[in-house]
Amino acid sequence: MDQKRILLIVGGGIAAYKALELTRLLRKAGVGVRPILTAAGAQFVTPLSLSALAEDRVYSDLFSLTDEAEMGHIELSRSADLAVVAPTTADLMAKLAHGHASDLASTTLLATDKPVLMAPAMNVRMWEHPATQRNLDQLRRDGVRFVGPEEGAMACGEYGQGRMAEPQAIFDAIMPLLGGAARPLAGKRVIVTAGPTAEPIDPVRLLTNRSSGKQGYAIASALAGLGADVTLVSGPTALPAPAGVRRVPVETAREMLAACEAALPADIAVCVAAVADWRPESAGTGKMKKGSGGPPQLTLVENPDILATLSKDSRRPRLVVGFAAETDDVEAHAAAKLEKKGCDWIVANDVSVEGTMGGDENAIAIVTRGGIERWERMAKGEVARRLAQRIAEELK
Ligand code: CTP
């Protein structure tokens, strides 16, 4: 990576502090960082901290005689292998989508002949605004790549999509673009199940659960990042398909099983989905009506167990990983599940901890026949990256 260089444009926003950590990660990996700090960005981080971490000077003025004498803005825009905008404000997106060149950042983005990666960060309403979404579509069509934004609590007190991706996730998105990502899982086929399943009671009612799909999606994305050929069999979620992953949307457990079987043979299966254990015996074709006889009695029947079925398939993947969502006796239940399902690892998590189900963090333990590995609490994205690395080591 020593010859690679990034042009890092730091826009305005509370997430600008994360650009410092990103700079540190890039420098540690031997990537050169040439920073451009917008006027708004300079309200949040100082040129001095950016410059110190980047070990380069910070550019910020379009009409600076000194800058132009040293390196003109056109040359600046070409001097890197990739332009990264982190944080990308709604304003920077709008400027590039419409071809404005009103300051150094927008001029450089317009003049560059290198790939551009944007890490948006803004209030959820601003992100969801039709104007921003139009700009996003336009920029994607123009070949701009995006990482994030993620869903979560925001500095402004609101909750939703708009939080900038974590520095490690931006770093992981940068590496393949620089041609420097390690791809230990290249050529390996992986099935990941994620999200809830939804079992119809009648045409308008469902039996489902609180799974958001975040952990499964993050794992699919991390495995793809290591070069794996990933099929993500997903129940209904609000998440966008991760880049480089084949997503097969399903609703019921039976559909999920069929999609997994269709994706065999595979080298690895990671069953993260919160599959409904039961489904109504028969889903009526018409909406159930309130009658005089009181509430209806639902007869439930057991769903197929996807993890157990994949574990005993004649084309069984070499490594089958299950998850166990438990509320008590987490590790003992996980060890029992390992035997019951016939898989190789159970990743156990305690869903009684507030914020785990549907939240952004997870504390897991990997239970194998050889013992238990306990991991400290961390972001789901980080759990995914470490788990993908751990899987790659196992398959070496
Ligand atoms: N699983 C599956 N198919 C099912 C049920 C569960 O593939 N029909 C998988 C999940 O994806 C997860 C693992 O089995 O990897 C354990 O899921 P969990 O809900 O914790 O366990 P259950 O088997 O449902 O057992 P219990 O509800 O009794 O804890």
> Ligand 1 in contact with 276 (CB < 6 A)?
no
Q: How many CB atoms lie within 10 A of CB 322?
A: 28
Do 154 and 128 form a contact (C-beta atoms < 8 A)? Answer: no
pLDDT of residue 356: 67
> Ligand 1 in contact with 89 (CB < 6 A)?
no
Alpha-carbon Rg for the chain, nearest whole angstrom, is 24
The structure tokens 């960082």 sit at 33
> Ligand 1 in contact with 307 (CB < 6 A)?
yes
> Ligand 1 in contact with 323 (CB < 6 A)?
yes
- Whole-number Å distance between alpha carbons of 382 and 169: 8
Q: Is 115 helix (H, G, I), strand (E, B) or coil?
A: coil
Do 173 and 222 form a contact (C-beta atoms < 8 A)? Answer: no
Is the pTM of the predicted complex or chain greater than 0.85? Answer: no
Do 163 and 154 form a contact (C-beta atoms < 8 A)? Answer: yes
The structure tokens 């910020």 sit at 60
- Catalytic residue, candidates 156, 260, 271, 343: 156
> Ligand 1 in contact with 277 (CB < 6 A)?
yes
380, 381, 383, 389 alpha-carbon torsion, rounded to 10°: 160
Side chain identity, residue 155: A
Is 70 exceeded by the pLDDT of residue 71? no
Residues 6+ apart with CB under 8 A from 289: none
Phi (first) and psi of residue 309, to 5 degrees: -65, -45
Q: Which range among 76-85, 217-226, 351-360 shows the weakest confidence by mean pLDDT?
A: 351-360
Q: Which range among 76-80, 178-182, 285-289, 293-297 shows the weakest confidence by mean pLDDT?
A: 178-182
Q: Which range among 72-81, 120-129, 227-236 shows the weakest confidence by mean pLDDT?
A: 72-81
Quote the ligand 1 centre to 137 CA distance (angstroms).
Answer: 38
- Whole-number Å distance between alpha carbons of 362 and 368: 19
Is 90 exceeded by the pLDDT of residue 363? no
Quote the ligand 1 centre to 235 CA distance (angstroms).
Answer: 14
Q: Establish whether the linkage from the previous residue to 265 is cis, with ω within 30° of 0.
A: yes
- Whole-number Å distance between alpha carbons of 269 and 389: 15
Read off the pLDDT of residues 26-70 as tens digits, 9 standing for 90 and up: 999 899 999 999 999 999 999 999 999 999 899 987 667 566 666
271 is catalytic: no
pLDDT of residue 278: 96
Confidence category of residue 241, pLDDT binned at 50, 70, 90: confident
Quote the ligand 1 centre to 342 CA distance (angstroms).
Answer: 12
pLDDT of residue 67: 64
Is 80 exceeded by the pLDDT of residue 91? yes
Read off the pLDDT of residues 179-225 as tens digits, 9 standing for 90 and up: 766 789 999 999 999 999 999 999 999 999 989 999 999 999 999 98
Quote the ligand 1 centre to 152 CA distance (angstroms).
Answer: 27
pLDDT of residue 2: 61
Domains of the chain with CATH codes: 5-178 (3.40.50.1950), 189-278+294-394 (3.40.50.10300)
